[in-house]
Every structure is written in structure tokens, then in C-alpha cells.
Copies of this chain bind each other. A is one copy, B any other.
Amino acid sequence: MKQQSRARIEQALEAALARGEVRGAPPRLAAAIRHAVWPGGARIRPHLCLAVAAACGDGDAALADAGAAAIELLHCASLVHDDLPCFDDAALRRGRAAVHVAYGERCAVLAGDALIVMAFETLAHGAARHPLRLPSMLAVLAQRVGMPYGIVAGQAWECEDYAALPDYHRAKTGSLFAAATELGAIAAGGDPNVWRGFGERLGEAYQVADDIRDAACETEVLGKPAQKDRTLGRPSAVHEFGLAGALAHFEQLVDHAGRSVPDGPGAKQLRALLQAEAERLLPPTVRAQAVA
């Protein structure tokens, strides 16, 4: 099932990008956008979106695909802008040159902008069969990305003098995971409210795992510079709770996420996806390092 989802996700992303890659489009920007989207990471957010849509009956696969692609495009946009010299100044992303290194800073700013626009465009195109689901999908997505609590707001907390760790994590990472579950539900005609908690907790767990990996791993394992949080003096669960404490916090969040899955036909499969994801995020070797 995960392989099938992966194919749907890649196809939906390909369709979104292809719309902009026509004669008369600026070729460097088109290449920079492609560089930002492929090769992808685990595509965990769009997988989550499709899994929730499936648990809700997957009544409109095209709209679920559009939701999944929109979320991944926004995730890619945030990575491109986060890597810019004025933020993380990260040269590496997913094991190769970051967009601003490969195509220059100007193209990186514009690629992020274009990806944000493309995400909303993708939703509009996917809503042909159920246009009345579009307003709420659009509003949810915008809320999870922009002001006041979305990923852009989360990133902005890095520019403030003080940021509480849960607020920062919830906005920076949790919000896009919540969007994934909510959009999956709405796309399939389900209720987004019963799915939000699952996404929020998984998102927070993901961020804590990222903090642990950042503190415990080498650059080669991560495919991006390690020890970034400490270098940049950024709020981190490891900084707050220590490595072992952060690991315990992670396991508690995964447990809570599992118990947030509404009972129903897809619940068992979703809990299995969650366990597999927890294993992938923090493999035994990393856990061993964290408690060593």
C-alpha cells in the first residue's frame, strides 16, 4: 500500500510541476523548482494525507492526491527558504547542493515563492469533482502554512528574542502534519477535526526526533550539516530535556499519536504506519547513541 501511495504522490507532484514547464517559462527557475522537489525525502506528510483519506474511504482520489502534493510542495518551499544564507546558510540538503548553492540565491527565493503558489494551484485543479470541498481545504492549508500559527510563523520565531519550545515546534513542524491529516479527511468527505490531534502529535514527535538526530548523528548520516541547532543557538528538545529526556518525550508523543487515531476500518493500518515511521525516524543505532 505504501508503494502505491508513493506512486500516486510522485505522479501528483510531476503533474503540478509539468504545468509550469512549458515553452516560455524561465528555464533556470524551472530547474531550481525541480531540484527542490526531486529526489524527495520520505514524503511522510503526503503519505499521511493519503493514509487518512484511505481511512475515510478515499471517495475522491484526485482531490486526496492534490492535497498530498500541495502539502509536499509547501514542505519543499519551506526547506528551500530555510536553507538560504540569511537563515541556516545550509549548503547541503538531502545529500546534495541546496537550491541556493546550485542555482543562486535569487532563484532559490523565487523557487520557494513559485512552490507556494503551485501548492494552492494544485488544490484548485484537484477539486473538479468536489469544488465545495475546496474552500475548507484552502483555508486549512493557509492556516497551517501562514500566520498566525503556520510554518512561516514557526520559522519567524527564530527571529524573535524568545520562543517557547512547544509553540515553536507546533508551528514549525506540527502544523504541516496536522494539515496532512485534515486535508486527507476533507478530501474524502470526512471530518478534519477528529484527525487533527493525530497529525499534531506525529508532527511534534517528528521535530523532537529531528532534534535528537541533529545532536546525536554525523553529517554523513543526515545528508545535511549536523549540530545545527547548537551552532545556531536554536530552541531544541535536546537542549531542554537532554538526549535521554528528549527520547522519552519522543516515545510519549508517538504513543499519544497512536491513541489519537479514531477507531474505524483504517485505524490498524494507520497505527502500523506510525510505528514504522517511528522506527525510521529514530533507528535503534541512533537510540543507542542517544542513551549512551
Contacts and interface: CB of A to CB of B under 8 A. Distances in A.
Contact of A147 (B29, B139, B156, B160): B29
A130 B147 CA distance: 25
A148 interface: yes
Number of copies: 2
Interface string A163-179: 10001000000000000
A19 interface: yes
A50 interface: no
Interface stretch (A105-113, A274-282, A284-292): A105-113
A15 to B, nearest CB: 13
A188 interface: no
Interface stretch (A6-14, A115-123, A194-202, A244-252): A115-123
Contacts of A20: 146-148, 153
Interface stretch (A35-43, A80-88, A219-227, A235-243): A80-88
A33 B152 CA distance: 12
Interface residues of A, number: 60
Contacts of A106: 86-87, 156, 158-159
Interface in A74-93: 77, 81, 84, 86-87
A149 B127 CA distance: 23
A134 interface: yes
A150 to B, nearest CB: 7
A111 to B, nearest CB: 9
Interface in A135-150: 135, 138-139, 142-143, 145-150
25 contacts: A20-B146, A24-B148, A25-B147, A25-B149, A28-B159, A29-B152, A81-B109, A86-B105, A86-B109, A87-B109, A113-B152, A114-B147, A114-B152, A116-B117, A117-B145, A120-B120, A121-B139, A121-B142, A121-B146, A124-B135, A125-B139, A127-B135, A131-B132, A132-B132, A138-B138
Interface of A: 19-22, 24-30, 33, 77, 81, 84, 86-87, 104-107, 109-110, 112-114, 116-118, 120-121, 123-125, 127-128, 131-132, 134-135, 138-139, 142-143, 145-150, 152-153, 155-160, 163, 167
